[in-house]
Chain A
Amino acid sequence: MTNSFSTLLLITATALSLTGAAAFAQESGSSGIGAIRAELEQVRKDYESAIAGLETRLRQLEERQIATEQAAIELALTPVRQVGAAPLPSPSLAEDPYAAYAAPAATEAPSTGLGGGSIIQLGLSGLFAAGGSSLENAALQNLQAGGHDPNRNGFTVQNVELTIGAAVDPYFDAQANFIFLIDADGETVVELEEAYLTTRALPYGLQFKAGQFYTEFGRQNKLHPHSWSFVDQPLILSRFFGPDSLRSQGARLSWLMPTDWYSELTFAMQNASGETVTSFLFGPGEEVGGHTLTDRSARNFSDLLYSARWMNGLDLTDSISANIGISALWGPNASGRDTNTRIFGADFYAKWQPAVTQRGFPFVSLHTEVLQRRYEAGDALDPTRETLKDWGMFSQALWGFKPGWVAGLRWEYAGAKGNTALDPLRDTRKRLSPNLTWYPTEFSKLRLQYNRDWFQHLPGTPTASALWLQIEFSLGSHTAHVF
């Protein structure tokens, strides 16, 4: 292009200078005017034909250029056009990565392979601890009262959990969690931790659940050990709900209310007996606050455990979200024939995360729960009749300061009214636990925790220290990211 332009300019300039020369010649004499005129005419003709030739070339070049550009655009648009014309894929369950969450088709059995489109979610997680305390094993087991707490100097297999879950049919989802652990005597213990079905398609925001499940009380109670932020369970939960958190057989109805924010109301009925319901019927021969429990089985509806929970979830800002809940439990206890227990709780959880995060970091979270129990011990005619009043709280803060790294601090307090100093489950107890966790990936973690304990039940020994190292692996279905 530039070349043709320079040629054009050169010719124009030559032509102009020639014209100027001719004019000058005209002035200088008049004898050869005719010859000069003829010459000039010739120059003009040459010049015009040259210009015409150049214009033609220029036009040809421009046309070629436009054609090239057009071809490039056509080429670029081919994918656009192809996309527009290709048939839309039709939904097919077999290729659907969410097949496990889809309702199985009524007529056609989908592939059951555990690869890509598996319809069953299968997971195995293992949680192990190593460490030691300033106390002997026997005393340590009173301090670490949780069934999955590290409670031995040396190694503890805290929890090996097998999880199986899937959609049953268009109406139900189901899940079961089996727990394997090795107890203080070296025996392998198997527990059916949870096994329940939930409805998928009830209207009006209702959901029904039935089977064996964690009671929805507070935030911490229903967390499985591998989701805990500390190596052991809060001591007030060990006191009120026993070593394995509160769980039992029963049914639950939950209502997600049509509010502008998340507001859920839950109501459940469960069996009140067994070692996972320690504040209620528990088991004959067990002791609570010095009262020996009788064999009191369920006679009517008032002998079941009832629970209610109201949970609200709010986004306070784009980077801060909070959950606020209140929970209540009431049911019979076996210290007498007509004795009842009531437990109330309030829980608060908030999490801050900036607008820009890498792998979910950084973040800061705060979790606090307060629980209070009123336990009627002994029948009206029982001379030892009393009302046991216990309460406790825990508050924990986590700081995810760089991808994969979380620092945590937990403070706990538990106490009771009356002279309870010698009862390891009712004395005044305080515990401070700083920890540091490293998550190499979403599927493994390493945690180091220090526990500083203050208690009354060991005369002459008011405090204890312990250091625990915890390691976890997770296989199979992807770990759930729950708020």
Chain B
Amino acid sequence: MMKNFNLLSAVILLAALFAGSAGFAGSAEARVRVVTTTQDLAAIAEAIGGDDVKVESLTPGTRDPHYAVAKPSMIRRVFRADLLILIGADMEIGWLPPLLQSARNSKVLPGNPGFMDMSRFVQLLGVQSGPVSRALGDVHAKGNPHYWLDPRNGLRMARAIAARLGEIDPDNAAAYQNRFAAFARTMEIKLPQWQAALASLKGQPVIAYHKSFDYLADIFGFRIVDEVEPKPGIAPSAATLGALIQRIRREQISLLIMEPYYERRSARYLNEKTGLRAAVLPQSVGAEKSITTYFDLFDGITAAFKAAQAPQEDQ
């Protein structure tokens, strides 16, 4: 028993030494630590928080946030966070609950000011009213969670974040409001520009790969008539692609929109058969290196649409 006791003491001492040497150096930081589940939320939080906050995103914009896993490094970030901002509407349902349980940080638990579920500050599309079954695929009963793709929702989120940061850090409340005002002014300039640039899309029928562009269609006025995935989250088969080809020909649909992380084979196949052009849209901040702000995101989406609509050389 004595030997065991010595071993235990040694392990604890070693661990404590590690903790002492590495940990307490960073604890004097005064900035509000904001952790977001996606880079879109991080970009908005950065625009509002400026130098008064330190923002980290748990997932990169190059990956589908629904399929993230709760890594220890993410637990670590949530453990130290003052404010946790999430997409909600079941987007992070697979990994955020276990992460919150491991992170043991009561500040960012639901119901406290440090927990901000952004889906409650926007109007969600596609809220299911009837019974929902997983036989329908990966249906989000609480509504479509891809709402950051409507710039008006970006503005709603920015406003809510400014208010919440002001609550958590009252000393800088005015600064947060000023940055929100600047964000809104930029939006007042940018939104009409994007709408003008994409005016030709108005009323056009478009095919989407996944059910993730409903909000983009809502703001820019195009119609998503079908998806490549037969059901959300279910990969297309030869038969479903065949049916889609019939529809594309019948309704003379000319454009497919998709996220960069989906397979391109279906898009190439549809292009060969029908001439359907694919616009690979950056779906999030960080999806491309050059997209670092929320405004860059829609500049990038506009550019991707333009590129797909431009006359192409024969391949």
Q: Which A residues are within 8 Å of any B CB, using their own CB?
A: 72-73, 76-77, 79-80, 83-84, 86, 88-89, 91, 93, 95-103, 105, 115-116, 121, 173, 198-202, 205-207, 255-265, 267, 302, 306, 308, 310-315, 318, 321, 323, 328, 330, 340, 342, 353, 355-360, 403-404, 441-443, 478-483
Contact = CB atoms under 8 A, between A and B. Distances in A.
A202 B117 CA distance: 23
Given A358-B262, A360-B63, 16 more contacts: A77-B192, A79-B152, A96-B120, A98-B110, A199-B104, A205-B79, A259-B19, A259-B22, A265-B12, A310-B15, A313-B71, A357-B261, A358-B263, A360-B67, A481-B67, A481-B95
15 contacts: A83-B156, A84-B159, A200-B106, A201-B109, A207-B104, A256-B75, A256-B104, A257-B18, A260-B22, A261-B72, A313-B76, A321-B71, A355-B60, A478-B90, A481-B68
Contacts of A323: 72
Contacts of A105: 111
B159 A261 contact: no
Interface string B16-30: 001100111011000
Given A97-B117, A482-B70, A483-B71, A84 B155 contact: yes
B195 interface: yes
Interface of B: 1, 4, 7-8, 11-12, 14-15, 18-19, 22-24, 26-27, 60, 62-64, 67-73, 75-76, 79, 88-90, 93-95, 97-98, 100-101, 103-104, 106, 109-111, 115, 117, 119-121, 134, 137-138, 141-142, 152, 155-156, 159-160, 163, 184, 187-188, 191-192, 195, 233-235, 260-263
Given A79-B152, A201-B106, A308 B73 contact: no
Contacts of B89: 97
Contacts of A101: 97, 100-101, 109-110
A173 B101 contact: yes
A314 B163 CA distance: 34
A278 B175 CA distance: 62
Given A97-B89, A97-B117, A359-B64, A76 B195 contact: yes
A206 B104 contact: yes
Contacts of A199: 104
B69 A441 contact: no
A104 to B, nearest CB: 9
A207 B70 CA distance: 18
A308 B4 CA distance: 11
Contact of A80 (B60, B101, B106, B188): B188
B134 A313 contact: no
Contacts of A267: 8, 12
Contacts, number: 213
- Which of B98, B104, B134 counts the most A-chain CB atoms under 10 A from its CB? B104
Contacts of B70: 480-483
A446 to B, nearest CB: 15
Given A96-B120, A441-B234, A80 B184 contact: yes
B141 A88 contact: no
A97 B155 contact: no
Contacts of B93: 97, 478
Contacts of B137: 441
Nearest to A72: B192
Given A76-B191, A80-B184, A313-B75, A480 B235 contact: no
Nearest to B72: A313
Contacts of B120: 89, 91, 95-96
Contacts of B103: 256
A344 B163 CA distance: 52
A93 B110 CA distance: 9
A284 B82 CA distance: 53
B110 A359 contact: no
Given A97-B142, A481-B94, A356 B101 contact: no
Contact of A83 (B8, B98, B152): B152
B69 A481 contact: yes
A101 B134 CA distance: 22
Given A97-B119, A308-B8, A340-B1, A443 B94 contact: no
B188 A205 contact: no
Contacts of A359: 64, 67, 233
B235 A404 contact: yes
Contacts of A255: 15
Given A93-B111, A97-B88, A77 B191 contact: yes
A262 B79 CA distance: 10
B109 A102 contact: yes
A439 B256 CA distance: 27
Contacts of B60: 318, 355
B contacts with A: majority SS: helix
Nearest to A357: B63
B132 to A, nearest CB: 9
Contacts of A77: 188, 191-192
A58 to B, nearest CB: 24
Contacts of A86: 156
B155 A257 contact: no
A142 to B, nearest CB: 32
Given A72-B192, A101-B100, A116 B73 contact: no
A342 B1 CA distance: 10
Contact of B95 (A264, A441, A480): A480
A73 B192 contact: yes
Contacts of A200: 104, 106, 109
Contact of B184 (A72, A84, A312): A84
A47 to B, nearest CB: 39
B62 A258 contact: no
Contact of B109 (A79, A103, A314): A103
Closest 5 CB pairs of A and B: A313-B72, A258-B23, A102-B110, A262-B72, A201-B106
- Which of B69, B234, B262 counts the most A-chain CB atoms under 10 A from its CB? B69
A302 B5 CA distance: 11
Contacts of B110: 93, 96, 98-99, 101-103
Nearest to A258: B23
Contacts of A306: 4, 8
B94 A442 contact: yes
A265 B15 contact: yes
A65 to B, nearest CB: 14
Contacts of A442: 94, 138
A103 B111 contact: yes
Contact of B73 (A202, A302, A313): A313
A442 to B, nearest CB: 7
A353 B64 CA distance: 13
A260 B155 contact: no
B219 to A, nearest CB: 8
A109 to B, nearest CB: 15
A116 B142 contact: yes
B14 to A, nearest CB: 8
A325 to B, nearest CB: 10
A102 B111 CA distance: 6
Contacts of B71: 313, 315, 321, 483
Given A116-B142, A259-B22, A321 B261 contact: no
Contacts of A358: 64, 261-263
